[in-house]
Chains A and B, each alone.
Chain A
Amino acid sequence: MVKYIIERILLMLLTLLIITGICFVLVRMLPPAELAPGDIHTEVIEARREAQGYNKPYLVQFGIFLKNVLTRWDFGISDKLYIGQEVSAIFADKLPVTIIVNLYSILFSIPIGIGLGILAAVRKNSLTDHTISTLTMVGISVPSFVYAFLIQYFLSYKLGLLPFLMKSGTDYFSPEMFVSMLPAILSLSLGVIANFTRTTRAELSEVLTSDFMLLARAKGLTRTQAAIRHALKNSMVVVLPAILGNFVAILSGSLIIERIFAIPGVGNLYINSINGRDLPMFMMLTVFYTAVGLIASIVVDISYGFIDPRIRIGSRK
């Protein structure tokens, strides 16, 4: 198992390095932001650019970039949006909000999603199941910004229950802040709930038809008892990795939801860096998004290996 994990992690790092390299060259090929002559930051930024090896071959530039990142966690200096500031410091500023909003949404989604999935699987082919399945279908198909619209229009505007946008400030754990995050949390959650429900229902209903369930019923357990004690554990083989993968993926946040609800998070920063052509910022976020995606998939793979030994053995081809 240890060997399997190490193998996967090394492979992941190699992939990350290659992708970063490709993206780095593509980003550096773009003309860097023009600097205002006479601005106090111009000289600093020009000196930094010189040190980062602009005007040298791309591979040399990439080498310098890697060295800076690995030794000093230095991703360069923002030359458009936050002129003259460290990219990594700004990024570290924005990350907590994204994590908090998405963490709330996933904590909210897990019990509801799995609960509905169990309900639908246990009462398969009943009215409850059909209703839940239909809603799940809708939940999965419709993207979050349509929910955002519905929530803003009905809950915030018509009923006045929730605020339109997220409150500014850094008191992330105050009750007012939580309320102002609710619209975003709700719009993010609906899709996640639907996903969990679908996975749980599909897995559980398959396990429920297997032979050992018949045995459990035969020894006198009720349907619910058998489902919760025996079947649920087995269906978690698929559900749990999905949850773990989701946990990692929350880091990247949602571009659209952050935009609509004015959440000052990573997603918003990314859009701004594209629209503002802030290339050092864009580069750092590219590395970040790539890493999050790769880590999420590796976590899913490894957790499969832990939960289900058959998969681990299968990996040794």
Chain B
Amino acid sequence: MDDYGHIPKEKLRFAERSENRMQSETKRASRGYFADALIRFRKNKSSVAAAVIITLLIIYAVLAPMISPYTITDKDSVYINFPPYTEATSAIGFMDGGVSRESQNETQLAYLHAIGKETGMDPVIRIIDEDVSVTNFRGEETRSVTYKIKVNKYYEVGVVMRVMTPAEFRDILEYQNETGVQVIYPYVSREKVGANVSSSNIWYCVSDSKGTPIYDENGELIPAYSSDKSAEGMEYNSIRIAGDDGSYIYSQKKGGAVECRVCYYNYYRYLNGRTPMYILGTNSLGQDLFSAIGIGARFSLLFALAVSLINLTIGAIYGAIQGYYGGTVDLVLDRIADILSGMPFIVVATLFSLHLAQRVGTVVSFLFAFVLTGWISMAALTRKQFYRYKGREFVLAARTLGASDKRLMFAHIFPNSLGTLVTGCALVIPSVIISETTLTYLGIINLTEFVGTSLGTLMSQGQTSMTTSPHAMLFPALYFSLLLISFNLFGNGLRDAFNPQSRGVGD
């Protein structure tokens, strides 16, 4: 032990005795109910994550239709159920419009390469797999190869036949001259092709109707372009393809109009002024899924919000009256609520749409259907809270001071049930979204005219072409599922935050 005895007296001083020093440290601003709930909510990581995801999904719904160059009325007639594609990302192999095609034979591969040779855009992205099978037929060995190919569906369209007015034809020629993009390709002579093949993409000589190509001595395809000037539809004075000595014709007479072969990808550029940009692909109507999902989601979210707010208002008033007065009033109102809640929602929705849709519009009648039975659960929640609080001392005190019934109900008791109601509201939103989507999915309610599309409509369209283009179902379903999961998580988090005593029950 050190000896402290030698410390000089002037260096020592008394410990502070003033009492308020201790108190001032422990004193804090008192925390309200909502602030308290907010702190509890923030501690719940999964709910916070859900809130972030909901925000992102809402931002998507607001922005996607604005960002997308397409509106909901833009429907392409050729790019139907096409996978995601943008020109910029296809170069790095992402969103490249690729689908895999199984068991393709040599002829089909040659066909695809020929499209690439003519238009300069080869549909074959890569050959995934080769399968060689050797068959022995009467002592002769034949090798046949089948391929699994990843094909760019946008390039695969290649060249299509189009009948157009002379004015449009001239316009395209002008466009070609300005941009140097070849839209119209030389007309093909059926006689030169050599066999009856229906595809407009066959521009070379073939040996049979399956389209087996004939090669020259260098292993190149032999062009079968027509040079028959007498059949030419319109004079052609624009860029010509390589190998054209000026004799090829680019159109044919077709009544008062001309028929010509157009490269659809470039024709699309001519029509829309840009290359196709379908970030999430297209659906079975040729709409851009990226913006269609946003538009459907916008409606779903706004609608669900409107429904839950209306239900909250009606339910709160109804439940307040029930709970506050009790007795006969409660009994009668409860019977009415019972009868309404006994009506199956699907029947209500159908009857409303049959009766009211024509008079007040689909959306309003749809809203009525949700409101008719939706408020009951809110009323029950409010009623329970009123029974709990109406006998408390603070209510008695207010009554003694002469507060009116209305004031007692809405200024004194109601605020106590607000937490429960907010939670109820958050959990109503996903259930409204599910019901709405189910009805539009089944086609019982059709919102296409009013909104343009809806998540349910998109998914039922996607379902029909599920095997060939799963993306048309996958993307709306993914958005939809994420939305529902995060709303439920968010609602559970809110409930735990507002009612800490019920924590962990039912999650």
Binding site for B on A (CB under 8 A): 11, 15-16, 18-19, 22-23, 26-27, 29-30, 133, 137-138, 140-143, 145-146, 149, 152-153, 157, 198-199, 202, 205-206, 252, 255-256, 259-260, 270-271, 274-275, 282, 286, 289-290, 293-294
Contact = CB atoms under 8 A, between A and B. Distances in A.
Interface string B180-193: 00000000000000
B460 to A, nearest CB: 9
B494 interface: no
B459 A145 contact: yes
B434 A143 contact: yes
A27 B466 CA distance: 37
A152 B492 CA distance: 31
B258 to A, nearest CB: 44
Interface stretch (B220-228, B263-271, B389-397, B473-481): B473-481
A202 B506 contact: yes
Contacts of A29: 355
Contacts of A259: 442
A15 B339 contact: yes
Contact of A141 (B339, B477, B485): B485
B377 interface: no
A20 to B, nearest CB: 10
Contact of A143 (B444, B484, B492): B484
Contacts of A141: 430, 481, 484-485, 487-488
A289 B344 contact: yes
B30 to A, nearest CB: 31
Contacts of B342: 15-16, 19, 290, 293-294
A24 B286 CA distance: 42
B350 interface: yes
Contact of B344 (A137, A149, A290): A290
A270 B344 CA distance: 13
Contacts, number: 102
A108 B253 CA distance: 67
Interface in B335-389: 338-339, 342-344, 346-347, 350-351, 354-355
B438 A143 contact: yes
Nearest to B492: A137
A202 B492 CA distance: 13
Interface residue tally on B, bucketed by range: 35 or more
Nearest to A156: B467
Contacts of B500: none
A202 B434 CA distance: 24
B441 interface: yes
B449 interface: no
Contacts of B441: 145, 256
Nearest to A18: B339
B443 interface: yes
Given A137-B485, A143-B437, A145-B441, A293 B505 contact: no
Interface in B247-277: none
B485 A19 contact: no
Contacts of A294: 342
A127 to B, nearest CB: 15
Contacts of A289: 344, 346-347
Interface string B307-347: 00000000000000000000000000000001100111011
